[in-house]
Copies of this chain bind each other. A is one copy, B any other.
Amino acid sequence: MEVYLSGEIHTDWRDQIVRGAAAKGLDVTFTSPVTDHDASDDCGVAIMGAEDQKFWHDHKGAKLNAIRTRAAIAAADVVVVRFGEKYRQWNAAFDAGYAAALGKSLVIMHGADHQHALKEVDAAALAVTETPEQVVQILDYVLNGALPG
């Protein structure tokens, strides 16, 4: 099973899921966007040349990142999208919508304080979680029928 881990890049939630899945021996391949914030912002101009305008600087980078993210979403069986405490995270919501339209199984992760603001995103999901441990438990159940405890 291929699982794409989209969204927030400032905490170690991806590592927690990857380690948790490894600890249970789950047969999962995880993919993710480039999570180095600076590399992700500057990749376009670093490879294809500088831009005077911030808009085009960002545009080149965002498109380059899209090569990676669209291929990964298209190949995924499950797309996990985490919304963190900070920033706008519109790219996370964009990924969720993109995955939903492709018929991917969506798992959303966020804290209780974002519940109302994310109601449309949650409504498109097959599971809404709060912690990486819950995502690992979901994968264990989906693959092996195993429940926690």
Contact = CB atoms under 8 A, between A and B. Distances in A.
Instruction: Give the interface size bracket for A toward B.
Output: 35 or more
Interface of A: 1, 34-36, 39, 42-44, 46-48, 51-56, 58-68, 70-71, 77-78, 83, 87-103, 105, 107, 114-129, 134, 137-138, 141-143, 145, 147-149
B137 A47 contact: yes
Q: Tell me the number of copies of this protein.
A: 8
Classify the interface of chain A: helix, strand, loop or mixed: helix
Nearest to A56: B56
Contacts of A64: 126-127, 138, 141-142
A149 B66 contact: no
A105 B67 contact: yes
